[in-house]
Structure 1
Amino acid sequence: MIETNKKYTFDGPFATYCSMYVEYKIGLGYKFQVSSYYRLRQVDNFFKKSGLKKPILTKNMVEEYVSKRDNESTKTQHQRMSTIRQFALFMNMLGFNFYVFPKNEFVKQRDNFIPYIFTHDEITRIWSIVDQLKFSGNSKYAHLIYPMLLRMLYGCGLRINEALTLQKTDINLKDGVITVSKGKNNITRFVPMTETLRIYGQHYVKNMAFDMSMEGYFYPAPDGRKYNSGSILSGFRRILRDAEIITDESVKPRIHDLRHTFAVHSLEKMINEGQDIYSFLPILQTYMGHRDVESTEQYLRMTSDTYGNIINSTEEMYQDVFPEVQENERL
């Protein structure tokens, strides 16, 4: 939420409506960061300098605003297109007839990254493998840590280093809440667990013989220090091979792709229940620790037609959207 002091005022032809737009977005649950405010003020200032006196927005005006500027990155131009489009949609909700820049005419941002989205069957096969891990003298906790860690990454959408940095005191298994302290972007957030994951965590704590009131990592390396993410990835690749998800010659999913899969499966669940994913995006933004909702939207880009309907779905409000994890009764 932005501060409400003088530097966040608007003084162009859209001043009153810009302030209303900010309050509207905040009311929906969006975190209106300084960068979002700055882009909105750019719109107001641009048309102030052009001499506009009343709130109108025609096709020519919008196309002039979104046109490429000298030394401007594609990302910046894309953000300007998104800002003026969202503002126009808001103004039309108020009864205006503003031109809405078409989303299919946004400039394409170069991004060669293609996330691997695990299918529900592949997730089930992963659980089957990790639940059969045996004690190893080289890593005496691995057979307990992997089943819990991978379920937490998939069930809560954590980044791997966020999970490995967790202290025992960060985990509240009574209420089912994880405290992620100063994750990426220096954001501290509270992440709820599903009931199945909370119960699984209780079994894990019992088998690890943890005193949860004492300091120490929730996923300790054999020497008690923080587990190395490289070691976890190596073990994860072996699990994927055993689950027949990858071969030595195939594209190798990263452990971070469990985070992508968490987001996609959550949205997929919403669509299947007829919910509105756009109302859910600011919640997912907070849940995953993104700085702004644009990051969440980019992060969820699909690479397969299988999930194409996620971007276009609009229905009712969200409820109970996070994917469940399976409890291992043998723990």
Structure 2
Amino acid sequence: MIEKNYTFKSILSELIIGYIEEKRSIGYKYIKSASHLKNFDTFLAKEHLMEKNLPKELVLLWTNKRFNETEGNRSNRISIARGFAKYMVRLGYDAYILPAASVTIDRYSYVPYIFSEQELKSIFIVCDNYPSSDISPNRHLILPLLFRMLYGCGLRISEALKLECNDVDLKQGTLFIRNAKFGKERIVPMAESLTERCRQYLVKVHNLKSCNPIYFPSPYGGHYDEGTIYNLFRKILWKAKISHSGKGPRLHDIRHTAAVHCLKKWVINKKDLTNLLPFLSAYLGHVDLRGTQHYLRLTADLYPHIIDAVEQDYSFLIPEVPYYETN
């Protein structure tokens, strides 16, 4: 780690080390950012800062655009300076916090579409009443469970379509997700109501005569193609009177919605997100907490009535630059 190869020397060295340790304790690898903070520490020492505060003039001097520096790199430095200043203020020190508008770069322009509870209800009603088809005899049975599973378990569509019958444990009420993104595997618990739907589905689709191991079999016996499900999703949105324009809503937005609704419920119920975020991260199969924490930003942005609670209690968990996984 960077702090083992470098001796912090400024008067804020203990605070900088504490900030790095806090970030890592909540799931960040924080290697590149720690390198920036090492440079910040060197800068503060050269500027002969003598008191444990962070004055505006030094913050502005350090975050000025450098010769041949990309906007992305400068945005990173600004974001780190803001985060560290917030950390200092939280601990009772005086520190200048750059305005949020100072972070100018948006690396991921797509903002997820978060379905309302009423929109989800409409989607499920359309799925429940989807017509049967001679060409695809199980489609009307697959869609109601598939879309409830995407939301109820926060699955990626690829994870759901790869499920095999042995991956669905009706006794434990769990799904075994294998060969997921980043090569990860995980066990995902289901609500009892969803487990019961799986039991009914098993009887109707995978009866004693069926030997197909694929849980959601296509009419041709193999896995459903994601493109086929997406086309059906477009039709479902139209029937549910939910507008589809531009880039969204996308199938993956059901997963985003599951995460945001979960966080919203936790905030309203005053749960300790510091302890719960790692569980949500594992549940969603994130490689680290970064993606999960950005859902917290999105939750605060979408629901004005809880934004004060989120910003007051968990501002240190919310990253500066928006990031949302795309698959």
TM-score, with structure 1 as normaliser: 0.75
Change (3 A) 1:252 1:94: closer
Contact 2:153 2:189 (C-alpha < 8 Å) held by counterparts? yes
Q: Is 1:38 the equivalent of 2:59?
A: no
Contact 1:168 1:216 (C-alpha < 8 Å) held by counterparts? yes
Change (3 A) 1:294 1:61: farther
User: Which residue, out of 52, 55, 58, partners 1:61?
Assistant: 58
Following the alignment from structure 2 to structure 1, what is the Cα–Cα distance between the partners of residues 272 and 201?
A: 35
1:128 matched residue in structure 2: 125
Structure 1, unmatched stretches of 5+, are 318-331
Contact 1:277 1:310 (C-alpha < 8 Å) held by counterparts? no
Aligned-pair CA distance for 1:9: 4.8
Q: Is 1:244 the equivalent of 2:230?
A: no
Aligned-pair CA distance for 1:221: 1.7
1:208 matched residue in structure 2: 205
User: Which residue, out of 8, 19, 22, partners 1:24?
Assistant: 22
1:286 matched residue in structure 2: 282
Following the alignment from structure 1 to structure 2, what is the Cα–Cα distance between the partners of residues 66 and 280?
A: 34
Q: Secondary structure at the match of 1:313?
A: helix
Structure 2, unmatched stretches of 5+, are 315-327
User: In the alignment, residue 38 of structure 2 is paired with which amino acid?
Assistant: D
Q: Secondary structure at the match of 2:45?
A: coil
TM-score, with structure 2 as normaliser: 0.76
Q: Is 1:296 the equivalent of 2:292?
A: yes
User: In the alignment, residue 286 of structure 1 is paired with which amino acid?
Assistant: A
Change (3 A) 1:289 1:92: same
User: In the alignment, residue 22 of structure 2 is paired with which amino acid?
Assistant: Y
Count matched residues.
Answer: 306
Change (3 A) 1:250 1:137: same
User: Which residue, out of 168, 171, 176, partners 1:174?
Assistant: 171
Aligned-pair CA distance for 1:19: 4.6
Contact 1:10 1:18 (C-alpha < 8 Å) held by counterparts? no
User: In the alignment, residue 223 of structure 1 is paired with which amino acid?
Assistant: Y
Matches within 5 A, 1:48-127: 48=42, 51-52=45-46, 57-109=54-106, 111-127=108-124
Q: Is 1:272 the equivalent of 2:268?
A: yes
Change (3 A) 1:135 1:187: same
Q: Is 1:192 the equivalent of 2:186?
A: no
Following the alignment from structure 2 to structure 1, what is the Cα–Cα distance between the partners of residues 130 and 256?
A: 25
Contact 1:116 1:253 (C-alpha < 8 Å) held by counterparts? yes
Contact 2:300 2:307 (C-alpha < 8 Å) held by counterparts? no
Change (3 A) 1:59 1:194: farther
Change (3 A) 1:200 1:77: farther
Contact 2:154 2:254 (C-alpha < 8 Å) held by counterparts? yes
Following the alignment from structure 2 to structure 1, what is the Cα–Cα distance between the partners of residues 173 and 313?
A: 27
Following the alignment from structure 2 to structure 1, what is the Cα–Cα distance between the partners of residues 293 and 282?
A: 13
Contact 2:85 2:96 (C-alpha < 8 Å) held by counterparts? yes
1:322 matched residue in structure 2: none
Aligned-pair CA distance for 1:164: 1.4
Aligned-pair CA distance for 1:153: 1.0
Aligned-pair CA distance for 1:147: 0.9
1:324 matched residue in structure 2: none
User: In the alignment, residue 241 of structure 2 is paired with which amino acid?
Assistant: E
1:145 matched residue in structure 2: 142
Following the alignment from structure 2 to structure 1, what is the Cα–Cα distance between the partners of residues 154 and 162?
A: 15
Aligned-pair CA distance for 1:231: 0.5
Aligned-pair CA distance for 1:40: 1.8
Q: Is 1:160 the equivalent of 2:154?
A: no
Change (3 A) 1:60 1:205: farther
User: In the alignment, residue 24 of structure 1 is paired with which amino acid?
Assistant: E
Change (3 A) 1:193 1:183: same
User: In the alignment, residue 114 of structure 2 is paired with which amino acid?
Assistant: I
